[in-house]
């Protein structure tokens, strides 16, 4: 029997925010941080919404947290009992990650006896606008209890407040909050209703930006008072009258009843797991961590949309401005391609639909084509600021060049698109903007290249690769290789347009033949780094001339532990110490460029020089180690990625700014390490093949993958693999 529960058995003040990430639940439309019901904004509860942003003054533009309809607290005999103010007798918080249900059980000792609060909530997978909660209070004496439950519109914001007004109206027994955003006057409406069989007196209570039902009961000894509550969230992005729609939705759902809605919700989760679960015989811990990672990916996938992507911190809050990075295409996409191909399409459609934003960005720098946003929000707007880091010594913002120089982002978009077409066989995406996107990205690289004087070599100068500690370098190997890929793919498409009328129409006035020739020439001339010193590929021009030292030495030079390692004066900048997998990522993406021996030599060179300062790093080392036939070397990297959100330990604060949250790229990376790495899944001659490299102790892996619209059941052991088409 598999264990699908994660649990914390005692309340720890220090773990509040980490637990809110650990116990997150969501459905792609919204994510609910795993906060306790009584928490107010200083404890960082959030019902974080996808794809809707706001900006106040010069602050960062960030996604919205909806008014919180889970807010609930109790008063016993006139005195409030909630955490952390009152010490509990016992406290348990748990998540059933098979079904996205979060529970808590807390007992307080009061002057006359003990009172236990039991609660569970879920973000409905069956209807992404709905949230369900059951709140139960039991006392071992005749307690005079008030349950205050309603909507807390005083939400946590990093760069807010994002609502100019929050009006909460009571309509019959329904509370409806209408919150109006500052920048675009969008309305975020939340309606809630409760039901209880317990005889009670109902009053309402209004506080600043908060409206609550006061449910007053006198309890029978050990007889639970159960409150069932439904809430609905709609915004003006969903419909014209979100207030009315949310109210109707919550009223209808109340009619269906909590149990029925929970049933529908869990049935949806079962369907998701049917294609997504990965079984690992012989390593229960790894199996649990991996499926917990998958849970996070499933909780944030935009099932509700046709064109939407996933922010780097998922739906766990406003960290990283709720923006979409290369994380989606390079780290999460594989999972969705294998298990929920429709979601993969939605993610890529987002890039297609933000092409205009990418072209505008390129133009702004004087280039042609599409330069995608490094931190992409609505419409492809680049939310990355010029000053992304604060100097801890002077407290001054430091100029960073992430947005200007990480040109590999456009390559990631094309890599994702091609990968999608190859794996799904769905070429329709090319006709719906995909082809234009690919060619536009190629035009960007074409215009971004410079010709080396006195030689026939093209270069990509002044860039930043995945290793962000070394800014403004020339010929980052990863970037040049990815640009080569883009140029070749664009040239192929243009060539296809000779026979494909629809494509020819799409390219319209463009002189396809001339551009095809030009891209092919670019591809031929673009400098590609070859293994040199001891078989190692130089990460960028001059990298080998930098001080060759260790991560520990560089760390020992820090004057302040929060000091930034990169940029102009960072401790790592003049050394070979890198933030995250860079050349190694290139070798994972293009494993057939070099021999396995060369790849392994590069792994051996770069790993000790990698700080792994990004949660994106470990999985690339894990996958490459597997590709090179070293699963036991891969294993700790796999566990690091898979445990990123379960074990926590990531950076949570940068000065006073909260930078914590969940790590969906690490989750996707763990999945890739398992499937691409250990199970060795690959496509060969149009067939799904597996070349397993299982680590010690792993007896068997079992999972499904989709390929060209068909589902395959895969069973892998160290002796080989059995791959069968799925029969209903």
**The token pair that represents 160 in the structure block:** 């807010």
Of residues 196 and 615, the one with the C-beta less far from ligand IFM: 615
Q: Using the rule CB under 6 A, which residue among 100, 132, 416, 466 binds ligand IFM?
A: 466
- Report the nearest approach of ligand IFM to the CB of residue 614 (Å): 4
CA distance 371 to 405: 10
Catalytic status, residue 247: no
Which stretch, 191-199, 322-330, 379-387, 429-437, contacts ligand IFM (CB under 6 A)?
A: 322-330
Helices 284-300 and 631-642 cross at an angle (nearest 10°) of: 50
Q: Of residues 436, 468, 489, 611, which has the active-site annotation?
A: 468
End-to-end CA distance of the chain: 24
Q: What are phi and psi of 482, to 5 degrees?
A: -70, -40
CA distance 655 to 666: 24
Residue 573: closest CA among 471, 465, 462: 471
Of residues 154 and 611, the one with the C-beta less far from ligand IFM: 611
- Report the nearest approach of ligand IFM to the CB of residue 663 (Å): 8
Is 325 a binder of ligand IFM (CB under 6 A)? yes
Residue 551: closest CA among 607, 602, 610, 604: 610
CB 258 within 8 A of CB 134: yes
Residue ranges of the alpha helices (H) in 425-511? 428-429, 435-448, 477-496, 501-507
Is 478 a binder of ligand IFM (CB under 6 A)? no
Of residues 141 and 381, the one with the C-beta less far from ligand IFM: 381
Which stretch, 33-41, 320-328, 376-384, 702-710, contacts ligand IFM (CB under 6 A)?
A: 320-328
CA distance 297 to 642: 12
Of residues 374 and 703, the one with the C-beta less far from ligand IFM: 374
Residue 55, SS3 per DSSP: coil
Which stretch, 319-327, 476-484, 592-600, 603-611, contacts ligand IFM (CB under 6 A)?
A: 319-327
Helices (H) and strands (E) in the chain, counts: 21, 30
Is 458 a binder of ligand IFM (CB under 6 A)? no
Site for ligand IFM in 45-74 (CB under 6 A): none
Of residues 97 and 326, the one with the C-beta less far from ligand IFM: 326
CB 398 within 8 A of CB 390: yes
Is 310 a binder of ligand IFM (CB under 6 A)? no
- Report the nearest approach of ligand IFM to the CB of residue 42 (Å): 26
Q: Using the rule CB under 6 A, which residue among 327, 522, 538, 601 binds ligand IFM?
A: 327
Which stretch, 325-333, 334-342, 518-526, 720-728, contacts ligand IFM (CB under 6 A)?
A: 325-333
- Report the nearest approach of ligand IFM to the CB of residue 668 (Å): 11
**The token pair that represents 233 in the structure block:** 């969230």
Of residues 415 and 635, the one with the C-beta less far from ligand IFM: 415
Of residues 250 and 315, the one with the C-beta less far from ligand IFM: 315
Is 88 a binder of ligand IFM (CB under 6 A)? no
Q: Using the rule CB under 6 A, which residue among 312, 373, 675, 701 binds ligand IFM?
A: 312
**The token pair that represents 558 in the structure block:** 């820090």
How far, in Å, are 191, 308, 360, 405, 415 from residue 372 at the CA level?
Answer: 37, 15, 9, 11, 13
Is 614 a binder of ligand IFM (CB under 6 A)? yes
- Report the nearest approach of ligand IFM to the CB of residue 375 (Å): 8
CB 130 within 8 A of CB 186: no
CA distance 525 to 457: 5
Is 665 a binder of ligand IFM (CB under 6 A)? yes
Give just the sign of the alpha carbon dihedral 414, 419, 424, 427: positive
Q: Which residues neighbour 57 within 8 Å (Cβ) at sequence distance 6 or greater?
A: none
Of residues 73 and 313, the one with the C-beta less far from ligand IFM: 313
Is 621 a binder of ligand IFM (CB under 6 A)? no
The verdict on whether omega for the bond into residue 598 sits within 30 degrees of 0, i.e. cis, is no
- Report the nearest approach of ligand IFM to the CB of residue 353 (Å): 21
CB atoms within 10 A of CB 402: 20
CB 489 within 8 A of CB 418: yes
Which stretch, 218-226, 255-263, 318-326, 474-482, contacts ligand IFM (CB under 6 A)?
A: 318-326
CA distance 264 to 519: 51
Residue 355: closest CA among 374, 331, 373: 373
Residue ranges of the alpha helices (H) in 180-283? 242-256, 258-276
Is 616 a binder of ligand IFM (CB under 6 A)? yes
- Report the nearest approach of ligand IFM to the CB of residue 659 (Å): 10
Size of the site for ligand IFM (CB under 6 A): 10
Of residues 295 and 325, the one with the C-beta less far from ligand IFM: 325
- Report the nearest approach of ligand IFM to the CB of residue 371 (Å): 16
Catalytic site positions: 468
List contacts with ligand IFM (CB under 6 A): 312, 320, 325-327, 466, 468, 614, 616, 665
């Amino acid at each position: 029997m598999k264990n699908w529960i994660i649990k914390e058995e005692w309340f720890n003040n220090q773990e509040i925010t980490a637990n809110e990430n650990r116990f997150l639940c969501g459905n792609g439309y919204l994510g609910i941080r795993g906060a306790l019901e009584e928490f107010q904004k200083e404890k960082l509860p959030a019902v974080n919404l996808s794809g809707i942003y706001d900006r106040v003054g010069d602050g960062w533009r960030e996604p919205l947290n909806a008014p919180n309809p889970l807010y609930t607290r109790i008063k016993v005999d006139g005195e409030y009992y909630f955490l952390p103010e009152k010490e509990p007798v016992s406290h348990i918080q748990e998540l059933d990650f098979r079904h996205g249900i979060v529970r808590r059980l807390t007992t307080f000792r009061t002057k006359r006896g003990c009172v236990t609060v039991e609660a569970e909530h879920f973000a409905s997978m069956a209807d992404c606008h709905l949230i369900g909660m059951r709140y139960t209070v039991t006392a071992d004496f005749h307690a005079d209890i008030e349950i205050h439950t309603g909507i807390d519109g005083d939400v946590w914001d990093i760069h807010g407040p994002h609502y100019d007004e929050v009006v909460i109206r009571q309509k019959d027994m329904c509370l409806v909050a209408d919150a109006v955003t500052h920048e675009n006057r969008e309305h975020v409406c939340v309606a809630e209703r409760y039901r209880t069989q317990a005889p009670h007196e109902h009053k309402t209570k209004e506080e600043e930006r908060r409206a609550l039902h006061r449910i007053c009961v006198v309890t029978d000894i050990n007889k639970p008072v159960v409150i069932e509550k439904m809430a609905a969230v709609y915004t003006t992005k969903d419909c014209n009258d979100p207030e009315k729609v949310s109210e109707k939705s919550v009223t209808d759902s109340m009619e269906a009843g909590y149990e029925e809605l929970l049933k529908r919700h869990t049935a949806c989760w079962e369907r998701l797991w049917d294609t997504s679960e990965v079984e690992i015989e012989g390593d229960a811990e790894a199996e649990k961590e991996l499926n917990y990672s998958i849970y996070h990916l499933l909780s944030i996938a935009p099932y509700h949309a046709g064109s939407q992507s996933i922010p780097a911190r998922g739906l766990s809050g406003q960290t990283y401005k709720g923006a979409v990075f290369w994380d989606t295409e390079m780290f999460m996409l594989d999972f969705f391609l294998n298990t929920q191909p429709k979601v993969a399409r939605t993610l890529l459609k987002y890039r297609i639909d933000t092409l205009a934003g990418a072209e505008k960005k390129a133009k702004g720098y004087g280039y042609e084509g599409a330069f995608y946003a490094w931190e992409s929000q609505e419409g492809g707007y680049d939310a990355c600021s010029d000053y992304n880091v604060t100097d801890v010594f002077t407290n001054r913002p430091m100029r960073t060049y992430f947005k200007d120089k990480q040109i590999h982002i456009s390559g990631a978009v094309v890599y994702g698109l091609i990968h999608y077409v190859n794996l799904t066989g769905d070429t329709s995406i090319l006709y719906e903007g995909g082809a234009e996107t690919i060619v536009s990205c190629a035009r960007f690289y074409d215009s971004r290249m410079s010709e080396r004087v006195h030689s026939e070599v093209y270069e990509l100068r002044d860039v930043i690769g995945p290793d962000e500690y070394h800014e403004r370098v020339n010929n980052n190997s990863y970037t040049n290789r990815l640009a080569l890929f883009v140029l070749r793919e664009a040239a192929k498409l243009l060539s296809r347009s000779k026979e494909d009328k629809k494509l020819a129409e799409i390219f319209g006035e463009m002189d396809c033949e001339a551009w095809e020739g030009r891209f092919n020439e670019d591809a031929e001339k673009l400098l590609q780094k070859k293994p040199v010193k001891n078989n190692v590929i130089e990460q960028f021009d001059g990298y080998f001339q930098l001080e060759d030292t260790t991560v520990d030495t560089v760390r020992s030079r820090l004057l302040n532990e929060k000091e930034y390692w990169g940029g102009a004066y960072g401790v790592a900048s003049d050394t070979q110490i890198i933030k995250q997998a860079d050349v190694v990522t290139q070798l994972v993406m293009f494993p057939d460029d070099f021999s396995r021996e060369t790849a392994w030599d590069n792994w051996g060179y770069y790993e000790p020089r990698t700080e792994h300062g990004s949660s994106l790093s470990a999985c690339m080392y894990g996958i490459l180690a597997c590709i090179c036939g070293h699963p036991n070397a891969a294993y700790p990297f796999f566990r690091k990625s898979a445990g990123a959100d379960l074990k926590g330990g990531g950076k949570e604060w940068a000065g006073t700014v909260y930078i914590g949250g969940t790590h969906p790229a690490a989750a996707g990376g763990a999945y890739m390490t398992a499937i691409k790495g250990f199970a060795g899944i690959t496509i060969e001659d149009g067939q799904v093949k597996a070349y397993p490299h299982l680590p010690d102790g792993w007896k068997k892996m079992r999972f499904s993958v989709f390929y060209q619209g068909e589902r395959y059941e895969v069973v892998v052991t160290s002796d080989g693999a059995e791959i069968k088409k799925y029969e209903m």
